Structures are given as structure tokens and as C-alpha cells.
Amino acid sequence: MDWTEKHRPSTLSEVRGNDKARDAFEEWARTWDDHREAVILHGSPGVGKTSAAHALAADMGWPTIELNASDSRTKDVIERVAGEAAKSGTLTGGGGGRRLVIMDEADNIHGNADRGGARAITSLVKEASQPMVLIANEFYEMSKGLRNNCQEIEFRDISPRSIVPVLRDICRREDIDYEDEALETIAEKNSGDLRGAVKDLQAIAETTDRLTADDVVTGDRDTTEGIFDYLDVVIKEADAETALKTSYDVDETPDDLINWIEDNMPKDYEGAELARAYGALSNADRWLGRVRATQNYSFWKYATDNMTAGVAAARDGTKGGWTRYGPPSYWSKLGRSKGTRQTRDDIAQQIAAIDGVSMRTARREIMPFLASMTHHCKNRELTVAMAATYEMEAEHVSFITGSGKDTNKVQSIVEDAQQRQAEAAVEHSGGAFEGATASGGAGADATDTETDDEAESTDQQVTLGEGGDDEESATGEEPDTPDSDEADEDDKQSGLSDFM
């Protein structure tokens, strides 16, 4: 029997390593009648989110109903199964008739055949008369509407110090003789991932009578080992059919898989085969673009066909040797690592607000262009314009450009951007600041009447505009007024278009 199931916590008090999240989760449950909101538990895989949900249900005496990634979570299924339980206020059983609805992998709804699945969940959490728990790895992969209608609790990675006592307790229950160093090594290898540590413990314990440090294979657990193996398959070894079938077992979305293949393919391909492979990736990217435009995820299969079978078919025979594959450079630039995710999302939120797009569009479509155009601040004027337009701080400029935030170059760019914003505010105030005192006066009153739309419009015109039009405005002359049709067309462009 799988030890992660056999030794799953039976009560919230047994959930280790996330005391603050555990207490907040318990408070949510005990006060549910007061707020009646769903809750999102989010964090890395293996940190105990699902275990905590079931443990809470046991503590509260609530029966559970669960949907996970293996279920067909279409609009109809969600409304029939989860909806029936969540909306019924007359269910019998323990906990005063309450039932806990648990939806695992709630950030992975977009793969449904029926695209109404995500909307059905958002509607469900608004109307539910039963407590609901949504479990997700990536909080910001969920729709904004869903996030705004739920409480959120983050489960953080579990430290090795918190993992060791769990392993020690399992060894006691399973009557396993062990060395402390062996448990510490397992915990270190799986830092943050309690589930992975328990799986490693079981795998090793089943092959030896006494668990020693020598039994623990050295080296870090590589959570992306599957993708590295697959890169060998598609780039070096397999035919088109095998490459496609093997991709079904890779835990990567097509959006991420194409980045892995694109970055590593040139390490083994060259000449005509490289050109053919890029052609296949180009076709795959077109299908991914269609997915983004229509939200029809059934097109993913065509993208996968091209990026796997197409790339494999482009190869002239098989290839030997060992290649040092690495994660996509795009990820490192845009904060795939957990430590920079918050910075990435802060920037995306600012871009989304100014350009009138979603955070997902800002992250996946706008930020990569900004990063390419301002790489290491080589185009200084463009970098200043970007920082001014999106009101970026030094940390944000550093993140996008790849330059150190404490360097003189980045600091001077931020200072120039702030100066540009200040000049823009004065230039487009219509003379409201003339004669104003340091404490405000007439200038402050006048600017208060300016609408948000007018302020945003003038900010973008000044910070991004250069040359003739700005010079005419600075001298007080009236700029040419474009035809109404041209003006309407300009209004449709986002801030990014001004950089192109």
C-alpha cells in the first residue's frame, strides 16, 4: 500500500510544516456560517494541501465529495456532481448536515472538452450553500473572477527540519530500523516536498532491513527528470509516432513543452534538419496562438503533434552521446523560480492595469517582448520609456532587463523615468500648476477634476512619444488633430504597440 495514503494525517493537528496555514484553514471552517465563502489552498505539489482538506473534514465531521484531475470536469459534470452537493442545504450526515466539496487541481480546468468548466466553478462558489475547498499549485493560473470570490491560504514548502519527524514517525509505525543520517538525507533531497520524501522512504525501506545513509542515493530529487528523459526521446532517439505517444506521459502543458524543445533542440540539430524542426515548431506555435485567441484547448493536440512528431521527423537518423539540456531561458528571465514569482506577478498586474489586458496576457505575451527589447538596457531610451509607462521601480526594471537592480545604469533609468512622469504631469495639466503653492492651492484643485481616462491617456502620450508631437506640445502649439477613424484605431492599441 502507498505510504502517502496509509499515513495520511487523520486530523489537522497531524499536518506538519504549515502551522500558520493550518490554523487559518481551521478558522475558515469554524467561521464558515459567518462568511460562507469558498477557500483556495495553493502551494507546491506535495506540501499537504489535499491531506489538510481531508483532515479538516474528519475534524469537523463533514462527509466529503471530491473531483480531481482524472475526472471529466466539464460544465455539466461540475453542476451535476459538485453543484448538487454544494447547493443543497438539506444534506444529512455529521457536522450539522454540512458536506465538504473538494476540487483538486482547480488550476487545471482549462483542459476540459467543455470550456464552460471554469465558468461553472466560478458560478458555483458564488452560490454554494456548502463549504468548498479548491486546491491548486499555481494560484495565478486561476481566473481572476474565481480568485476574487474565494478566500486564499498559501501552503509553503516544508523545511527538512519538519520532514524528518514525519519520516521518523512512519519508521516507528512500520517497525523500521534506521540511522538518523539516512532520514536527514532523504529530507534534504526532498526539501519542500513531504510526499516525495515519504515515497523515497518507502522505496528504500522495501529493499533493506536497516535504513542507513549508504542506502540513500546521493543527489537531489529532480522534479523535472521526466522532461529531460523526454528531450532525449524526441530530439535524439524516437521516430515520429513514438515521440508523440511518449509525450502523453510528460507532465508539461504544450505551452511549456514547446519552450523546452525550442531551447534544447539546437544543441543537437544543425543545417537542414534544424530548419525542418523549426518549421514544425512554427506550426505548433500557430496552433498555440489559436488556443490563446479562441480558448479552445482542443487545438492543443495539433500543437503537440507538430512539436513532438514534427521535430522527431525532421531528424536525419538517431543521435548518440550526452547533451547538457537545461530549462528554457524564457523561464529564468521571467521568474519561473518561486523566489521571483511575486515580482513577476507585480509587474504583470501593473501592465494589465495600464494596457487593459488580463494578467495572463501580460505575463505570456507582453512581458517576453519587453524583455527582448530592453535586454540589459542596451536601448536605454526604450527602457526609460518602458519604466515610465508602467511606473516601474528598480526591482521591476532589473527583472525585465536582466540587469542588477543596484547598478548605476538601472538606478539612472528609474530616475529618468520618474522625471519623465513628473514632466508629463506638468505639461498636460493645462496650466493648472502655474502659481500653485507648495501646499497645493489651485493647482491641486484643478488636477483633481481630471478623469482617470484622461490621466492615463496623457501619461502614455508623453512617456512614449518622442520627436515632433512632443516638441510642439512643449512650446504650447496645438498639435494636428487626427481624423476620427484614425483616432479610434489608435485608441485600440495597447501600451506595448508604442514600442514596436
Please tell me the distance from the alpha carbon of residue 283 to that of residue 305, in angstroms, as a whole number. 10
Q: Which alpha helices (DSSP H) does 362-478 contain, by range?
A: 367-373, 380-389, 394-401, 408-427, 441-448, 452-464, 468-474
Please tell me the distance from the alpha carbon of residue 327 to that of residue 332, in angstroms, as a whole number. 8
Q: Partners of 135 in the beta sheet?
A: 41
What one-character DSSP code corresponds to residue 365? I
Phi and psi for 152 in degrees, rounded to 5?
A: -135, 140
Which grid coordinates are listed for 163?
520532514
Radius of gyration of the chain from Cα atoms?
A: 27
Which grid coordinates are listed for 294?
479562441
Share of the chain residues as helix, strand and coil, in percent rounded to the nearest 5: 60, 5, 30
CA distances to 409, 452, 456 from 419, rounded to whole Å, are 15, 21, 17
CATH number of 3-154: 3.40.50.300
Q: Which residue has the cell 489651485?
A: 442
DSSP 55-123: HHHHHHT--EEEE-TTS---HHHIIIIIHHHHH-S---STGGG--EEEESSGGGGGG-SSTTHHHHHHH
Please tell me the distance from the alpha carbon of residue 241 to that of residue 78, in angstroms, as a whole number. 35
CATH number of 160-215: 1.10.8
Closest C-alpha among 405, 409, 407, 380 to residue 393: 405
Q: Partners of 154 in the beta sheet?
A: 42
Closest C-alpha among 39, 34, 158 to residue 101: 39
**Contact call for residues 194 and 16 (beta carbons, < 8 A):** yes
Which grid coordinates are listed for 52?
489538510
Which grid coordinates are listed for 402?
536582466
Number of residues that this document lists for the chain: 500
CA distances to 166, 484, 491 from 487, rounded to whole Å, are 65, 5, 6
Q: Which amino acid is at 304?
A: T
CB atoms within 10 A of CB 8: 17
Phi and psi for 209 in degrees, rounded to 5?
A: -85, -30
Q: In terms of C-beta density within 10 A (0-12 exposed, 13-18 middle, 19 or more buried), how is residue 1 classed? A: exposed
Please tell me the distance from the alpha carbon of residue 337 to that of residue 499, in angstroms, as a whole number. 28
Q: Which amino acid is at 408?
A: N
Please tell me the distance from the alpha carbon of residue 53 to that of residue 222, in angstroms, as a whole number. 27
Q: Partners of 133 in the beta sheet?
A: 39, 102
Helix, strand, or coil here: 323?
Answer: coil
Please tell me the distance from the alpha carbon of residue 400 to that of residue 320, in angstroms, as a whole number. 37
CA quadruple 117, 119, 122, 128: dihedral sign: negative
pLDDT at 333: 52
CB atoms within 10 A of CB 222: 10
Helix, strand, or coil here: 42?
Answer: strand
DSSP 123-137: HHHHH-SS-EEEEES
**Contact call for residues 136 and 41 (beta carbons, < 8 A):** yes
CA quadruple 157, 159, 164, 166: dihedral sign: negative
Which grid coordinates are listed for 203?
522505496
Q: List the chain domain ranges.
A: 3-154, 160-215, 226-327, 338-433+456-499
Helix (H) or strand (E) holding 170: helix 160-173
The rounded average pLDDT for each run of 10 residues, N- to C-terminus, in the chain (500 residues) is 85 90 95 93 89 94 74 56 55 60 76 55 81 88 85 91 92 91 88 84 83 68 62 92 85 83 92 94 93 83 93 91 77 51 83 87 88 89 93 90 84 91 71 43 41 42 39 40 41 39
Exposure string for 369-405, b = 16+ CB within 10 A, e = fewer: ebbebbeebeeeeebbbbbbbbebbbebbbbbbebeb
pLDDT at 199: 86
Q: Partners of 67 in the beta sheet?
A: 103
